[in-house]
Amino acid sequence: MKKILTLISFYDIIIGVIICTYKGVRHINKKEIAEIKKQFTPANCAITRICGCYVNGEKEKQSTFKQAFLSLPEEEMFKYFDIFRKGLSGTLGKNLINMDFSLEAELNGGTHEFLLKLRESRLTDDMLLNTFYDKIIESYDYAEHYLILLIHSAYDIPGKSSDNEEMFDASDEVYDYIVCSICPVKLSKPGLSYDAELNTFHDRIRDWIVEMPNHAFLFPAFNDRSTDIHSTLYYSKKPEELHMELVDSLLGCSSPLTAGTQKESFNTLITETLGDECSYEVVKNIHENLNELIEEQKDSPVPVELDKEEVKYLFAKSGVDQEKLENFDTQYETVAGEKSTLLATNITNTRTFEIKTPDIIIKVNPERTDLVETKVIDGRQCLVIGVDDYVEINGISARTILKKSE
């Protein structure tokens, strides 16, 4: 019996390793997110049940509810649709993050198994629901009132023809999923309101208002227009406030680098790789090449990601000497992590190219960085900006050079 159990455990681990090896290949893109958001409309709604738990600032449950979604008044439905769509909004890699479940989370008794049970229950099991609420309350570091919303839905995925048209009679899979939204609940602002019956103004009664979610997640992920139980899509209103304590406890997913951390890691890689030879021209070339890469793939629904080798190639292409790249692999693994990827939109600014000194800030159109040059004038390092006859100074059009009167 022990041998059989050992073999089963070993088999589970091997399967988990295989799963982890192939994770990351399939990740949800903008088109797939838009397809799910379309379900949150009266015409397409397939939400079976909605549940909720209202939590006060002392982490106490104030109330819970559970009901069939289609039994709600239409006005309420629209308010909920807005919340669910908001939890699938933002920029992939910043507000919306693809997360893969760790091997530990996918073992028996892990967070992954719990989420599968919750989905399979179609939110009818009160014990599972209360355990889910408790997990959030225990791990979510938030000192104000909030509402936990949880829905179950089943989307009959239509097939697609060769010209990408949907074929609703060719479905061969039902995407069975849950969406959790964590919404702050705040008092409405004080003020005066108009009473039409009395034709007077008086102090407005303040109500507790459910706001758009701070955090949300979709499970399982909808990758390649199909169910991927090994991934989830996580939303954070503020990209730098992911609340990893919530992610670790509730999801058990691998901790991603935030958008800000990716930017800092990339900047550190540049300065550490180049050292004293971190020149204006090389840094400019790196950002120009990055922006060019983003522009080339702007129509792709998948964001541009760079792994260790691709960042190394970018540096070499931008003029970094091969000698400086000898220790790049070690530096990358130390700064960003061996298997981490960096989203191009997180590590460069496609809208402006900014140059700073202690007293001056210069902002340039990224497509016209050629207008700024470095030159030595009278023995002093200078930034030279090519201009036309006129420039604008605090809203005033002025000539750069006055022509001498004859």
Q: pLDDT tier at 17 (50, 70, 90 boundaries)?
A: very low
Torsional class of 133: left (φ above 0), alpha (ψ -120 to 50), beta (otherwise): alpha
Angle at 329 between CA 324 and CA 331, to 5 degrees: 75
pLDDT at 405: 53
Please report which confidence band the pLDDT of residue 181 belongs to, taking 50, 70 and 90 as the band edges: very high
Least confident of 204-213, 219-228, 260-269, 293-302: 293-302
Most confident of 31-35, 91-95, 348-352: 31-35
Q: Residue 26 — pLDDT band, cuts 50, 70, 90?
A: low
Looking at residue 302, what is its pLDDT? 84
The Cα angle at residue 117 between residues 111 and 121, in degrees rounded to 5: 150
Give yes or no for residue 350 having a pLDDT over 90. Answer: no
Query: Cα separation of 343 and 265, whole Å?
Result: 12
Cite the beta strand spans of 146-298 per DSSP E: 146-157, 159-160, 166-167, 173-187, 192-195, 200-203, 208-210, 215-219, 221-223, 226-228, 231-236
3-state secondary structure of 279: coil
Task: Answer whether residue 270 shows pLDDT above 80.
Answer: yes
**Distance (Å, rounded) from C-alpha 99 to C-alpha 253?**
6
pLDDT of residue 328: 92
How many Å from the N-terminal Cα to the C-terminal Cα in the chain?
107
pLDDT for 135 equals: 95
Beta bridge partners of 51: 66, 150
b/e sequence 158-171, b meaning 16+ C-beta within 10 Å:
beeeeeeeeeeeee
Which tens digit of pLDDT belongs to each residue from 188-202? 888 888 888 889 998
pLDDT of residue 162: 60
Taking residues 295-307, what's their average pLDDT?
88
DSSP string, 27-90: ---HHHHHHHHTTSSTTT--EEEEEEEEE-TTS-EEEEEEEEGGGS-HHHHHHHHHHHHHTT-S
| 285-290 mean pLDDT | 93
* pLDDT for the residue numbered 67: 96
Does the pLDDT at position 396 exceed 50?
yes
Q: Tell me which residue of 286, 268, 261, 274 sits closest to 346, measured CA to CA.
A: 261
Q: Can you tell me the distance from the alpha carbon of 28 to that of 92, in angstroms, rounded to the nearest whole number?
A: 9
Is the peptide bond prior to 220 cis by the omega test (within 30 degrees of 0)? yes
* pLDDT above 80: residue 381: yes
Q: What is the DSSP string of 295-351?
A: HHTTT-SSPPEE-HHHHHHHHHHTT--GGGGTTHHHHHHHHT-TT--EEHHHHS-SS
What does the pLDDT average to over 156-169?
71
- State yes or no: pLDDT of 8 exceeds 80: no
- The answer to whether 224 and 216 have CB atoms below 8 angstroms apart is no
Phi, psi of 109 (to 5 degrees): 85, 5
Between helix 308-317 and helix 259-274 the angle, nearest 10°, is 50
- For the cut 70, the answer to whether the pLDDT of residue 367 exceeds it is yes
Report pLDDT digits (tens) over 63-107: 999 999 999 999 999 999 999 999 999 999 899 999 999 888 888
